[in-house]
């Protein structure tokens, strides 16, 4: 049986007091293409909800009961984090996910990227991006640990351990960057965006193991100009990438 969650829809131009309107107004101000903002106090997964939503909508939740990560992993989504999914017209999912991770990394000093879409602070992950396509739609799901408890995940951290940033401020910075980067992507500036991604990416030049459904490959990582990882001459678009310590 499907659980029911209460949904609150806000259209561009509608204003009122309260948390949902506060986040919606940030989204509408920073993302000029967004028309509808859906707010959930609690939800299974914003990416799941986004599947039945229109292009140019955002699905935003205070917590997720079945948050999903890449490769069918769980994304623990307690209150205090940011969990949202943006519905966009279909485009290269690799490029959309990479510019999303870049938008988060460039919002916080010292943040670095791990291919393809993990954002790290001092070696620990505070953000992940899950890009999915459904029909003619790309769904970009972004999860950011802001002040949520992440102690049960050994490789995770939250922003508040390093910076006194509120969820509103984090959402403000990330959506502002995302709009600029997305508009640049559509304007044909992928190479410039990709160069900035590479600059912040800790995977490039590292010894890695990439695990794909068809096998594993180890070697020094490079990135192809289309955003794929290249290991030992092989191009891989989707897989689990592990940085191997060399000392
Ligand atoms: C990963 O690092 O594996 C990706 C994590 C993506 C999590 C976000 S939170 C909002 C959206 N809804 C989900 O269920 N997942 C994404």
Query: Among 85, 72, 14, 79, which residue's Cα sits nearest to residue 41?
Result: 79
Cα→Cα distances 188→3, 183, 193, 194, 196, Å: 42, 9, 10, 11, 15
Tell me, letter by letter, the H, E, C secondary structure of 118-156: EEEECCEEEEEEEEEEECCEEEEEEEECCCCCCCCCCCE
Q: pLDDT band at residue 247, thresholds of 50, 70 and 90?
A: low
For residue 247, report the distance from its CA to the centre of ligand 1, in Å: 32
Which residue has the CA at smallest separation from atom 11 of ligand 1? 141
Residue range 88-136, pLDDT digits in tens: 999 999 999 999 999 999 999 999 999 999 999 999 999 999 999 999 9
**pLDDT confidence of residue 245:** 77
Query: In sequence order, which residues have a C-beta less than 8 Å from that of residue 244 and are 6 or more positions away?
Result: 206, 207, 208, 209, 218
What atom in ligand 1 is closest to the CA of residue 67? 14
List, for residues 55-71, the tens digit of each pLDDT value: 999 999 999 999 999 98
Q: Whose CA is nearest to atom 9 of ligand 1?
A: 143
131 C-beta closer than 6 A to ligand 1: no
CA distances from 156 to 8, 33, 125, 152, 153 (A): 30, 32, 5, 9, 6
> What pLDDT score does 1 carry?
54
Q: Is 57 in the pocket of ligand 1 (CB under 6 A)?
A: no
């Amino acid at each position: 049986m499907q659980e029911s969650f209460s949904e609150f829809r806000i259209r561009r131009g509608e204003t009122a007091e309260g948390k949902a309107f506060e986040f919606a107004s940030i989204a509408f101000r920073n993302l000029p293409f967004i028309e509808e903002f859906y707010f959930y106090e609690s939800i299974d997964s914003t990416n799941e909800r986004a599947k039945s939503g229109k292009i140019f909508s955002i699905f935003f939740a205070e917590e997720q009961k079945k948050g999903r990560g890449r490769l069918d992993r769980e994304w623990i989504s307690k209150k205090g984090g940011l969990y949202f999914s943006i519905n966009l017209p279909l485009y290269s999912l690799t490029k959309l996910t990479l510019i999303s991770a870049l938008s988060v990394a460039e919002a916080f000093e010292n943040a670095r990227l791990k291919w393809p879409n993990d954002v790290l602070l001092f070696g620990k992950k505070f953000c992940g991006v899950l890009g999915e396509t459904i029909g003619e739609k790309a769904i970009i799901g972004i999860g950011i640990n802001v002040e949520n408890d992440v102690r049960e995940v050994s490789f995770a951290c939250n922003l508040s351990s390093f910076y006194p940033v509120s969820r509103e401020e984090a959402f403000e910075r990330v959506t502002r960057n995302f709009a600029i980067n997305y508009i640049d992507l559509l304007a044909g500036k992928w190479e410039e965006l990709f160069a900035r991604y590479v600059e912040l990416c800790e995977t490039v030049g590292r010894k890695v193991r990439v695990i794909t459904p068809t096998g594993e490959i180890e070697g020094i990582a490079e990135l192809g100009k289309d955003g794929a990882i290249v290991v030992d001459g092989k191009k891989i678009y989707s897989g689990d990438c592990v940085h191997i310590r060399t000392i």
